[in-house]
Amino acid sequence: MAELRFSALKELFNREPVDVDVPAEPVSSYFSHNVFDKQKMERFLSREAYRAVMTAIDEGTPINRQIADQVATGMQAWAMEHGVTHFTHWFHPLTDTTAEKHDAFVGRGELGSIIEIFSGEVLVQQEPDASSFPSGGIRNTFEARGYTAWDVSSPAFIVGNTLCIPTVFVSYTGEALDYKTPLLRSLAVLDRAAVEVCHLFDKDVKKVIATLGWEQEYFLIDEALYYARPDLMLADRTLMGHPSSKDQQLSDHYFGAIPDRVKAFMKEFEYEAYKLGIPVKTRHNEVAPNQFECAPVFEEANLAVDHNQLIMDVMRRVARKHKFRVLFHEKPFAEVNGSGKHSNWSMMTDTGVNLLSPGKNPKTNMQFLTFLVNVVKAVNDNEGLIRASVTNENNSYRLGGHEAPPSIISVFLGSYLSDILDGIATKVKDKKMTPQEKTEIKLGLGKIPGIFLDNTDRNRTSPFAFTGNRFEFRAVGSSANCSSAMIVLNAAVARQLKAFADEVNSMVDRGRKRDEAIFQVLKKCIIDSRRIRFEGDGYSEEWHREALRRGLSAEPGVPKTLKAYVTPSSRETLVGTGVLTDRELESRVEVELEKFTKKLQIEARVLGDLAINHIVPTAVNYMTSLVENVRGLREIFDDNEYIRLAGARKELIINISDHITMIKRMVAEMIEERRKANVITDLYSRATAYESKVKPYLDEIRIHIDKLELVVDNELWPLPKYRELLFTR
Ligand code: ADP
Ligand code: MG
């Protein structure tokens, strides 16, 4: 059985970096080559169609059928120049990957012959059926049809011979079945609310977009070793494996020289990414061995999400060519760092102002502070919901680990901004303020920019940290579609900004000066959101206790955490803003509970199988050879000598035998618990049963297997060990 492991290790000796064919020209010469971007639209579309698409992108206006036909014709002409034969609507179902169903351009012409056809009708809408995607009860079989509809704001692109058209995915009744639909809605409500607040400072602002810069972490594993680990293949993470004697203790991998094979892989996927218009910028080794990161220049959030989903696809594909597997799982290996997808988020006006960037004078700084404080307040009021948005089975192994943010939401601002906020809370008077008092506060604001030259103030333990001109939401998991977090964040901030604008405007209507009204509402927000601000060590035990005292959500448990989606306040945030309907919201929670349960079920099955038909037989074989050995000693030595020599061996036999007994017993118990859980019809109770009754066995069984790994003859051990998985490339 150990054959597969050893032949995999042998294969590794002959691995060389794969030759990569990347042109020596500057990136700008091929950037966006495979994207139907504005330049190409200008070339391939009529002036009328081009203008209509631009207005649709900027203002969300619908595109009529006749224009859609023109766009389709232009798009097809461009695509066919690149040898494209098929098209697909590309969408984001509620799984962690994207979906596509390809159709050829072929159709019958008027004379009955086969010609290339692509019409506005099929560009705009498709009915891929796709009835097997999770819908959380929205789609009963009799109305199982799902529709995809063109998202004009994200450009079409080519992968291989296929033209991919980014789309939303909705049910027959128009309900969202994907991530993109609510993401687009959340961006629209954020736009409206933020513009209203901008108008308190600047009437010229017409549009506000959310910006997102994700940092994608991942592991690379050699393909041969991957094939020898059924747990990685089926469950995306190792369910067993004793820690390697050396792993990340020396931090010698972090920012280290990138290994040649890996560099070749990076070079190639980055080249593919550039051609797809994805502006990747940063690459480096991460802390854990064989862990890496890739980050682009930030973009408008909807586009950034599409690009993240797309680059994960590209990486998976390119990795295979380099005989690697890329692991996006949040915690593929116990005891070493997991992978996240830090999501850097901000808001930007059509006048080019980053609303979370400190300004150059008191007025712009007041606008900056207004947005900053409103985000802090939104996070405070929605901490449970925001936490739920990043909670799932995978990420539950990562959050709260000592390298990852804790599973408690708090905001880090740095001491300088904290002091400014506290200053406003104490200095602003509830009564009418004198001009002198106002001037004093504004002068204080005038000085902000200087501090950001020195960025040492960063707190790596915070899940939601202000980093100078954006917030960095670090709790997002590496395999997640970041929409899940973005939808909630946008909606929460939109709701808060709307409330803020309403309150300020009503004070102004009642005769207050505008700046005074702003200060006073800010003061209230600051006071009301004090509990969410935390500058200390998020990894510490005290913080956990302190957070509970502050009333923050800190209780463990995935199903319980997911319940935060459906509290009255969360409904107000998501349904009240129009980002989701009640039914869509509930269906999403169902989907999450189901995903959680199914992933645990898969892990439990894989572990049970491996334990019984890989590990136990191996241990029995080794034990048998020990028994033989003892029997041999008995034959050749006299009693005294035999007793002296056989003692340690017998102990080892007993030790191995005990582990085998425990493994067999616990696998049987785990199966029994699964059987009991599977008949529970209520999704929440079933998920809870899986978490409290089945999941503990994963750890327990693993302990015995990992102990066996230490004592069983290395020559017999069937699965590549951690030291092999993490240190060979
Ligand atoms: P670090 O590891 O120090 O956090 P990185 O350079 O790896 O920094 O990632 C920072 C990310 O933040 C990049 O994707 C960058 O484009 C993004 N970013 C910078 N400014 C903004 C902004 N205003 N809005 C959104 N993302 C931003
Ligand atoms: Mg970062």
Report, as an integer, the average pLDDT of 145-171.
93
Q: Are 543 and 406 in contact (CB under 8 A)?
A: yes
User: What is the mean predicted confidence (pLDDT) over 39-51?
Assistant: 96
For Cα atoms 289, 293, 298, give the angle at the middle one, nearest 5 degrees.
Answer: 170
- Ligand nearest to the backbone CA of 298: 1
- CATH 1.20.120.1560 in the chain: give the residue spans: 596-725
| pLDDT per position as a tens digit, 636-670 | 999 999 999 899 999 999 999 999 999 999 999 99
Ligand 1 centroid, distance to 520 Cα (angstroms):
32
Whether the CB of 212 sits within 6 Å of ligand 1: yes
pLDDT (average), residues 384-400: 96
Considering the domain delimited by 187-580, tell me its CATH architecture.
2-Layer Sandwich (3.30)
- Retrieve residue 268's tokens: 């190639």
Alpha-carbon dihedral of residues 424, 427, 433, 439, nearest 10 degrees? -70
Whether 213 lines ligand 1, by a CB cut-off of 6 Å, is: yes
Structure-token match 């104490």, residue found? 426
Residue 474 Cα to ligand 2 midpoint, Å, equals 8
Please name which ligand lies nearest the alpha carbon of 286.
Answer: 1
Q: What is the per-residue pLDDT for 463?
A: 95
Tens-digit pLDDT profile for residues 203-245: 999 999 999 999 999 999 999 999 999 999 999 999 999 999 8
What's the pLDDT score for residue 454? 47
For residue 163, report the phi and psi dihedrals to the nearest 5 degrees. Answer: -85, 120
Q: Please report the pLDDT score of residue 456 as a whole number.
A: 44
- How far away, in angstroms, is 472 Cα from ligand 2 center? 7
Distance 298 CA to ligand 1 centre (A): 6
Q: Is the pLDDT of residue 78 over 50?
A: yes
Q: Is the C-beta atom of 280 inside 6 A of ligand 1?
A: no
* Residues with Cβ–ion distance below 5 A, ligand 2: 342
Closest CA to ligand 1's atom 17: 213
Find the 321 Cα to ligand 2 centroid distance in Å.
29
Calpha distance 669→705 (Å, rounded): 16
Asked if residue 409 lies in contact with residue 553, where contact means CB atoms within 8 angstroms, the answer is yes
* Predicted local confidence at residue 449, as pLDDT: 55
Q: Which two tokens stand for residue 232?
A: 């990685």
What local confidence, expressed as pLDDT, does residue 25 receive? 95
Ligand 1, atom nearest to 295 Cα? 14
97: left (phi over 0), alpha (psi -120 to 50) or beta: beta
pLDDT (mean) for 610-625: 97
Digit-coded pLDDT (tens) for 350-374: 999 999 998 887 778 899 999 999 9
Q: Does the CB atom of residue 455 touch ligand 1 within 6 A?
A: no
What value does the mean pLDDT of the chain take?
93
Max Cα distance, the chain (Å): 106
**Which residue has better confidence, 404 or 250?**
404
pLDDT of 457: 55
pLDDT at 60: 82
pLDDT of residue 58: 86
pLDDT digits (tens, 9 = 90+) for 406-438: 899 999 999 889 999 999 999 888 777 788 777
pLDDT at 264: 95
pLDDT in tens, 573-602: 999 999 999 999 999 999 999 999 999 999
**458-462: average pLDDT:** 85
pLDDT at 285 over 90: no
pLDDT on residue 127: 84
> Average pLDDT for residues 701-722, to the nearest whole number?
97
Supply the pLDDT for residue 257: 83
Is the shortest distance between the CB of 171 and ligand 1 below 6 Å? no
Provide the b/e sequence for 498-516 (b: ≥16 CB within 10 Å). bbbbebbeebeeeebeebb
For the residues of 332-401, what is the DSSP string, one character each?
SSTTS---BEEEEEEEEETTS-BTTS--SSHHHHHHHHHHHHHHHHHHHHTHHHHHHHT-SHHHHTTTTS
Res. 131: pLDDT tops 60 = yes
pTM: 0.95
pLDDT at position 144 over 70 = no
Ligand 2 centre and the CA of 286: distance in Å? 12
Amino acid at position 50, single letter = Y
- Four-point Cα dihedral 424, 428, 434, 438, nearest 10: 20
Sequence-ordered list of residues with C-beta below 8 angstroms from that of 526, at least 6 positions apart, any chain: 373, 376, 421, 422, 424, 425
**DSSP alpha helices (H): ranges in 551-638?**
558-562, 568-574, 582-610, 616-636
- Atom of ligand 1 at shortest distance to CA of 212? 25
Q: For residue 428, how many C-alpha atoms fall within 13 Å in the half-sphere facing its CB?
A: 22
- Indicate which residue's Cα is closest to atom 3 of ligand 1: 467
Interval 508-527: pLDDT, tens = 999 999 999 999 999 999 99
Q: How many angstroms does the Cα of residue 278 sit away from the middle of ligand 1?
A: 15
pLDDT of residue 191 exceeding 60: yes
Residue 297 CB–ligand 1 contact under 6 Å: yes
Which of 343, 470, 489 for a ligand 1 pocket mutation test, highest count of atoms within 8 Å of Cβ? 470
In which residue ranges of the chain is CATH 3.10.20.70 found? Answer: 31-178
Question: Cβ(295) to ligand 1 under 6 A?
Answer: yes
pLDDT of residue 284: 87
354 in ligand 1 pocket by Cβ < 6 Å? Answer: yes
- What is the CATH code for 596-725? 1.20.120.1560
CATH of domain 31-178: 3.10.20.70
- Contact 300 CB / ligand 1 (< 6 Å): no
**Residue 453 — very low, low, confident or very high, per pLDDT cuts 50/70/90?**
very low
Return the pLDDT at 142.
53
Instruction: Compute the distance from residue 394 Cα to the ligand 2 centre, in Å.
Output: 20
Query: pLDDT above 90 covers what percent of the chain?
Result: 79
Q: What share of the chain is helix, strand, coil (3-state, %, to 5)?
A: 55, 15, 35
pLDDT tens column, 532-579: 999 999 999 999 999 999 999 999 999 999 999 999 999 999 999 999
Q: What is the pLDDT of residues 314-359, one digit of tens each?
A: 999 999 999 999 999 999 999 999 999 999 999 999 999 999 998 8
Determine the pLDDT at residue 250.
77
CATH 3.30.590.10 domain span(s) along the chain:
187-580
DSSP tag of 326: E
